[in-house]
Amino acid sequence: MGFLSHKVERSDIEAGDHIYTWKTGFSYSHHGIYLGGNKVVHFTREENKVSTGGFSISFSSTGEVSSLYSAPRAKELPACLHMPDCGFRQPQSGVVLSCLDCFLGGGSLCRFEYGISPLIFVVKLRGGTCTVADSDAPKTVIHRAMFLLHNGFGSYNLFENNCEDFALYCKTGLLIHDQTAPGRSGQVSGVVCAPLAAVLSSPLRWFMSSPISIAAAGAGLYCLSRYATDIGVRTDVIKAEVEDMVLFHGIIEGPNKPTNHVKSHKRPHESDQSDFPASKRQC
């Protein structure tokens, strides 16, 4: 287990795993759900501009973005000669089916960790690599990913609804019921918490003579702030059925809101998975 990433071999991943790959010199990561059989479902941006909650960010013709945390546009995903259905998506949807090679795009393969201890979480160097929340059973995770592949996951939003948010929901079923609140993404939490920690620690310079002490205090505030915004710790989350997610994101017209199940961060009892096909990829 690394403190910067969780790099694994292809033979190590199994169906239902939350995987990611680092892009542009570890500046950001792209996340998805591994289905087995060399297939990944992930959430991408659709247009040349991505909503950020109050402004938009423009992309170059190569898909690069000045922000750290973006995803490749569905239209820019490379054509694949190895898997006929690679690149499949519904019209006006950013949820895409890709082969593992196209998903990685030459980057390293990492596996997101679930159910880690609070102590391990706070000492991680980067957000967006783990959570204290528990994962649901692989069959449930894959069902959510496939349902959203055919029904969509709403509009891509850099801060509130990005590729990591998609994978986190598929794995846990947890949803922030306040749609104006920041999303579940650990990467975004890291960006928000860093300047916040700097501001909160600045008054400490009057009480600490050593720059090292001030830096340590700021780092501690940063880690604790990230922990407080983790989806496994937050109190503003609900367990939502994937069928209700479609209504939540406004993809299907209707007055209904997602079913508000009792908040729970505990792993539900897993059903018998004896009929679940073995789908670990052998290399």
What is the set of active-site residues? 30, 42, 163
CA-to-CA distance for 212 and 216, rounded, in angstroms? 6
- 8: number of Cβ within 10 Å: 14
Secondary structure (3-state) at 219: helix
Burial of 243-281, coded b for 16+ CB within 10 Å and e otherwise, reads ebbbbbbebeeeeeebeeeeeebeeeeeeeeeeeeebeb
CA neighbor of 131 nearest in space, from 35, 219, 232, 44 = 232
CA neighbor of 35 nearest in space, from 139, 117, 106 = 139
